[in-house]
Amino acid sequence: MGSGYLISPLMLVINTLFDLYILLVLLRFLLQMLRADFYNPVSQFIVKLTNLPLKIFRRVIPSIGRQDAAAIVLCLVLIYGKFLLLRLLSIPAVQIGGVMAPLTGVSYAGLLVFCIADLIALIITVFLVAVIIQVILSWINPGQYNPVIGLVHKLSDPVLKPIRRLIPSLGGLDLSPLFATLALLVAKMLIVPPIIYLGNF
């Protein structure tokens, strides 16, 4: 067994730890942007886990309007750090939104462009998963409420509401989740690859 024996498990650990924390920071940004219930137990859990680094970042990165710019910058810094670690491990490429992006032979500026693509892909994925979870919950426990369901509704509403205005329910059948899922998948396919292409220069 050579040195490559440990690369796969190490890559798994790096991806898992970084991705989970990046997701928490992004969820905090999105829930704050959508004015979700701050006292929701899940919101409080996210706030406690992300508070320390965000306090540091907010000292140098002011909010833009009511939006927490420090959270977005922290996400990009974490993604950049993950890519640098993977590059140090001689990982040739990573998958971003279903597209392979090379890590070797790419400039540091190119890596930053990949970070932006990865963050956009993650944002789209969060909305996509929220829509899917809401559909599943509507089948399993319609009308029930718990802290997670409240946040899922907050995340899926910005996607579903505009579609519901255009496509009303047919005979009580709500088709908006289907069209929302399709729109989000198409958006990821159209937005992410061109950004990755730019990062290769």
Query: What's the token pair of residue 48?
Result: 């406690």
**What are residue 99's phi and psi, to 5 degrees?**
-120, 135
Alpha helix positions (H), 7-145: 7-33, 41-58, 69-88, 108-140
Name residue 102's beta-bridge partners. 93
**What are residue 3's phi and psi, to 5 degrees?**
-65, -25
Q: How high is the pLDDT of residue 3?
A: 54
State CA 11 to chain mean position distance: 20
User: What gap in Å lies between CA 162 and CA 176, rounded to an integer?
Assistant: 9
| pLDDT tens series, the chain, 201 aa | 445 667 788 888 999 999 999 999 999 999 999 988 888 899 999 999 999 999 999 999 999 888 999 999 999 999 999 999 999 988 999 999 989 999 988 999 999 999 999 999 999 999 999 999 988 887 776 666 677 888 888 999 999 999 888 887 776 677 889 999 999 999 999 999 999 999 987
State CA 201 to chain mean position distance: 25
Q: Write the DSSP symbol of residue 157.
A: H
Q: How high is the pLDDT of residue 167?
A: 81
For 109-126, b where at least 16 C-beta lie within 10 A, e where not — what string? ebbbbbbbbbbbbbbbeb
Q: How high is the pLDDT of residue 1?
A: 47
Q: How high is the pLDDT of residue 10?
A: 87
pTM, 2 dp: 0.91
CA dihedral 51, 56, 57, 60 (to 10 degrees): 140
Give 37's contacts (C-beta < 8 A, 6+ positions apart): 43, 150, 151
Q: How high is the pLDDT of residue 200?
A: 87
